[in-house]
């Protein structure tokens, strides 16, 4: 968000013990504490756009959904984080159902990867055609827009964007190297930063995908695991709605 010259504020939902290899432990915060953090930010700074990330329990999903309604939040980007990049589970049982029932109808766009799209829809999602089927299903569940990320496809990565009328295949580039940490979170944060700047969703997604590609190219190796993205590659900031 800072690279897009946007002030980002957060409400912490859990504390994890993790490195670039694995998540070793997770401690979930009480839902009321998560809600109080959101209320504190919204009562002071406010938000032009918001995103969700790791929501570890159904009760926390419910608390966040109630906060969205309570504060009339708009431009809600749902990143349904269910597992870490290393494959470690990050949520309790029932979170996928809670996201499906409570957050999707409140979202401007939901941005799952293949496994997350499968968990939310109950469909097999491993090909581009199956991504398109899942995008339709997620739209039917209440999401206004759906962006399914194809980074885990076999072959070239292709994202699928669905607005309820038009399905678009967004081709990507497979950048050689080890596993990168936090690509999905980075993409959703960049999308919400673009929305906060006043860009429409299509422009926000385009620039977020471009930013992520450059962040991957400039990523930094760790001692034991994959690489960390370079979040300071920056963006040009050109175009309409250019006020931070």
Q: pLDDT of 50-64, one tens digit each?
A: 999 999 999 999 999
The confidence score (pLDDT) of residue 85 equals 63
* Whether pLDDT at 100 is above 90: yes
* Whether pLDDT at 86 is above 90: no
Residue 145 C-beta-side C-alpha neighbours within 13 Å = 19
233 inside domain? no
pLDDT more than 70, % of the chain: 92
Strand partners, 77: 51, 109
46 inside domain? yes
Cα–Cα distances in angstroms (integers) from residue 222 to residues 179, 182, 185, in the given order: 11, 14, 19
* Whether pLDDT at 45 is above 70: yes
Cα–Cα distances in angstroms (integers) from residue 20 to residues 90, 209, 229, in the given order: 15, 22, 11
70 inside domain? yes
238 inside domain? no
237 inside domain? no
Which pLDDT tens digit goes with each residue over 215-236?
988 887 776 767 888 888 865 5
Average pLDDT over the chain, rounded to whole? Answer: 91
240 inside domain? no
Q: What is the CATH number for 125?
A: 3.40.1190.20
| Number of structural domains the chain divides into | 1
* Whether pLDDT at 180 is above 90: no
Structure-token pair, residue 205: 């997604």
62 inside domain? yes
* Whether pLDDT at 243 is above 60: no
Domain that holds residue 181: 2-228
């Amino acid at each position: 968000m800072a690279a897009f010259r946007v002030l980002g504020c957060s409400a912490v939902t859990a504390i994890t013990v993790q490195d670039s290899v694995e998540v070793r432990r997770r401690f979930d915060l009480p839902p009321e504490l998560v809600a109080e953090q959101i209320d504190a930010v919204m009562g002071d700074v406010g938000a032009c756009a918001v995103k969700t990330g790791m929501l570890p329990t159904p009760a926390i999903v419910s608390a966040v959904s109630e906060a969205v309604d309570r504060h009339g939040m708009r431009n809600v980007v749902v990143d349904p984080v269910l597992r870490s990049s290393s494959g470690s589970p990050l949520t309790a049982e029932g979170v996928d159902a809670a996201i499906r029932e409570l957050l999707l109808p409140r979202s401007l766009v939901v941005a799952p990867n293949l496994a997350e799209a499968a968990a939310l829809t109950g469909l097999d999602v491993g090909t581009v055609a199956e991504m398109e089927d899942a995008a339709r299903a997620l739209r039917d569940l209440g999401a206004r827009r759906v962006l399914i990320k194809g980074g885990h496809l076999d072959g070239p990565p292709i994202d699928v964007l669905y607005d309820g009328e038009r399905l678009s295949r967004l081709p990507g580039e497979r950048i050689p190297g080890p596993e990168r940490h936090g690509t999905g979170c980075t993409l959703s944060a960049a999308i919400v930063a673009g929305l906060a700047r006043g860009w429409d969703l299509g422009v926000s997604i385009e620039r977020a995908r471009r930013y992520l590609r450059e962040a991957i190219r400039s990523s930094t190796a760790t001692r034991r695991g994959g690489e960390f993205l370079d979040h300071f590659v920056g963006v040009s900031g050109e175009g309409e709605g250019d006020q931070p």
